[in-house]
Amino acid sequence: MRFVRELAEPWGLLLAATSAGAAWAVQLPTVAALGVGVTVLAARAGIAAVSRPKPEAEPEEKPPPDVEPGSPEADWLRRAEAAAGGFQSISDSLAAGPLADRVADMEPIVRETVDTLRRLAGRTSATGKALARVDAGAVAAEKARLRKELKTADDDIRGDLLQSLESVQAQEDVHTRLSSAQRKLLAQLRSGALGLDGLVARAAELSAATGDSLIDTRTIGELSEQLEGIRRGVVETEEATRRSLT
């Protein structure tokens, strides 16, 4: 409680002691002098508790954008999540041994990869909504009209036409960047989801071996390398699209 904390502040205690000492010095009874000190301490704590600004809350991490239901990115995300569930099921079913240990170590990386794909899917949906706000056909038509007018424009309006053309070109550039980012995001979502599918299929194949003696260390290592390639590609795409859209 803020009031209680203020009572324990060293400066408040010092002020109270000084006030009590001053009251005793003017020959007030000891009890009355102590009462003055307590009153001063309580008053000071009350004022400080009310006037002291509350500490600012730490900013919360911004949640990822929502994934548009029924969109291609939603479908690929659902497939990646299903693959992660399949990998978890295989991990739970493996008997103790080198393969079980390696697959268990890979589970957090699979979850991390799916979390990144979820953010990419949200960004893909957000990019699609932004694209919908720019009518590429109308922008191209306006650009062509302005260029035509510039050919015969008088000097007194040429500057205005050039400024308008720059604005239209900026819209076209935005549309181009958004389109490129959307294609890249969708391609990585597809690659990530299919890569996780392939990882699950390979893990299932290894789990079907009759014993760990049939699985050499190199083969198990290849499984980890496959997952690391998927994870790295997803992370690199997230970083690249973040830079291109800022």
Give domain limits for the chain.
Answer: 2-51, 72-244
206 neighbors 215 (Cβ within 8 angstroms): yes
141-192: pLDDT as tens digits: 999 999 999 999 898 999 999 999 999 999 999 999 999 999 999 999 999 9
144 neighbors 168 (Cβ within 8 angstroms): no
Percent of the chain with pLDDT over 90: 50
pLDDT for 123 beyond 90: yes
Q: At what angle do helices 72-93 and 98-132 cross, to 10 degrees?
A: 170
Helices and strands counted in the chain (H then E): 8, 0
Percentages helix, strand, coil for the chain (3-state, rounded to 5) are 80, 0, 20
195-231: pLDDT as tens digits: 999 999 998 888 887 555 556 667 778 888 999 999 9
Q: Which residues contact 197 (CB under 8 A, 6 or more apart)?
A: 79, 83
Q: At what angle do helices 98-132 and 155-207 cross, to 10 degrees?
A: 160
| pLDDT score, position 138 | 93
Whether the full predicted model's pTM is greater than 0.85, yes or no, is no
Closest CA to 43 of 96, 101, 71, 3: 3
The full DSSP string for 23-55 is HHHTT--HHHHHHHHHHHHHHHHHHHHHHSPPP
149 neighbors 164 (Cβ within 8 angstroms): no
Task: Kindly report the length of the chain.
Answer: 246
Report how far Cα 82 is from the mean position of its chain's Cα atoms: 22
The tokens of 245 are what?
A: 């859209």
DSSP state of 67: P
